[in-house]
Chain A
Amino acid sequence: MVNPKSIEEKKIWDILETVTDPEVPVLTITDLGIVRDVIIDDDNIEIIITPTYTGCPAMDMITMQIRLAMLENGYSNVKITSVLSPAWTTDWMSEEGKRKLKEYGIAPPDKKISIPKDGVTCPQCNSTNTKLISEFGSTACKALYQCNDCKEPFDYFKCH
């Protein structure tokens, strides 16, 4: 997360931290690194966000949820701007976010290769004796794996 420059900005970041990803509800949008900046100009607030994947259908919903969360906290002059560059990367995911993902049963991105053939740590039993089932999973950001030890299939959040 970007270091807030003022108390007012900190308040807004705290609000944004309550907005979760509709597809992976344990992650907040700040955990994911989707919020890139908050710009305050008197009463006008601009929130800069970036999509994870170009076709991610959650982005429209996330935009709406940001607007609602801001309204609930009394902010009505909010502009939400989506930027593409620099392109989102899983390097921006917080450590807290990775921990929450694993607890939720999704292996967090931890390799430098985007989709390893094997060796991803099983979020259930921690074995690294795992194999890739499919490079494409239930959402654009995940690939499907199976643990050879506990036999559980699991999602892996691709290193992107």
Chain B
Amino acid sequence: MKSNLIDYTLHLADTALILSQRNSEWCGHGPILEQDIAITNISLDLLGQARNFYQYAATLTGGEATEDSLAYLRTEREFKNLLLVEQENGDWGQTILRQYLFSQFQYLMFEKLQQCSDEQLAAIASKSIKETAYHLRWSSEWVCRLGDGTKESHERMLLAIEELWRYTGEMFESAVYETIINVASLKEDWMQRVSAVFSEATLPVPENVFMQTGGKKGIHTELLGFMLTELQYVQRTYPGAEW
């Protein structure tokens, strides 16, 4: 059962790391200074979460494993992040929607995880949920601002929904190693909250969309490989490099 716990912890770590990396691509490119700072702050919080999860996974794995080896030296097929978080930034609307759909899920998931039987995962969740609350509020306000904004911002949000909705189903499908909490039980609550925000944002909730899955098992969209190439470049080229 220990291998399940390691895989699950890596799934949580990878998801936080990959979304952190995506958001960090906005650094210096945000639409205005304050929002550039906001998205990179969120990126930093997610990186902190990822480090906590990787450190724990390294302890569980033992041997030579470190937080760095787990983040920098695993291949695409070993990464267990959600497909949603590896999707491209697109325009600001798509970045916002990706963050909102994920933060809404992560908040509900951490609520459960902070009560789970594993002490360390519970501690990381109760620490991180305070930050996720900021991400959730900020991103949901932006979904409303853009959805119920101008004709163009509304249309762009519709495109973002079309692009990203298909990756949301995976969040609620348990992987074989995902035994600590029942993610399927979060779906109804997630759907209700997303519907409320979409309603305020005058955006439709899609129905009968075919859901793409596979990320939790290491089957990714072609985007992840390119991301890892950049993320792991230094350690792959100069193994053990420090600065």
Name A's B-contacting residues (CB within 8 A): 51, 53-57, 83-88, 114-115, 133-138, 140, 144, 160
Contact = CB atoms under 8 A, between A and B. Distances in A.
A158 to B, nearest CB: 8
The prevalent SS among residues of B at the interface is: helix
B120 to A, nearest CB: 8
A53 B126 CA distance: 12
A134 B38 contact: yes
Contact of A57 (B35, B44, B120): B44
B74 interface: no
Given A54-B45, A54-B49, A135-B137, A84 B127 contact: yes
A55 B123 CA distance: 15
A84 B138 contact: no
Contacts of B138: 135-136
Contacts of A160: 130
B48 A53 contact: yes
Contact of A84 (B38, B46, B52, B137): B52
Contacts of B48: 51, 53-56
A55 B16 CA distance: 12
Interface of B: 34-35, 37-38, 41-42, 44-49, 51-52, 119-120, 122-124, 126-128, 130-131, 133-134, 137-138
A134 B126 CA distance: 25
B32 to A, nearest CB: 9
Most buried by B among A54, A133, A144: A54
Nearest to A57: B44
A55 B45 contact: yes
B123 A85 contact: yes
B52 A53 contact: no
Contacts of A56: 48
5 contacts: A55-B47, A55-B49, A57-B44, A84-B123, A84-B124
Given A54-B51, A136-B34, 4 more contacts: A83-B123, A84-B127, A114-B134, A115-B134
B189 to A, nearest CB: 22
Contact of A85 (B34, B51, B126): B126
A140 B41 contact: yes
A53 B37 contact: no
B13 to A, nearest CB: 12
Nearest to A87: B127
Given A84-B52, A87-B130, A136 B38 contact: yes
Nearest to B122: A85
B67 to A, nearest CB: 12
A138 B137 CA distance: 19
Nearest to B53: A54
Nearest to A137: B37
Nearest to B38: A136
